[in-house]
Amino acid sequence: MSGETLRVDPEVLRTATTAFGETVDALNRIQVDVPIGDAATAVGQLRTAESCRKAQQGVAAAVTAAVESVRKYGESLDAAVRAYAGEDQAGAAAIQDVDIPT
């Protein structure tokens, strides 16, 4: 290790956690698979409709996986924020408990 000190700013992590949460909300709202489903409905029983439905399922699954990944990452970030904040508070309390002779 090069002797560098790791510095963590919990507020920056909180901001990132909020951004990840907002991203999850946005991904949940976009419903990218809906137009593909509409296309399947428009073409009826043709093979194209079947292809559209399969594509719709694939897109929905991909978005669901992305949402889950972003959600988990945000939760991990939030846990890190809480851990760092807790350590900061514990460190501050320990420093205050030190009896410095005068």
Supply the range of the domain harboring residue 46. 11-90
Residue 1 in domain = no
Is residue 97 included in any domain, yes or no? Answer: no
Contact between 37 and 56 under an 8 Å Cβ cutoff? The reply is yes
Cα dist. 86→9, 17, 55, 78, 82 in Å?
Answer: 13, 17, 46, 12, 6
Mark the ranges of the chain whose per-residue pLDDT is less than 70: 1-2
| pLDDT confidence of residue 11 | 87
pTM > 0.85: no
Whole-angstrom distance, CA of residue 18 vs CA of residue 15: 5
Domain count, the chain: 1
Residue 98 covered by a domain:
no
Q: What is the pLDDT of residue 33?
A: 85
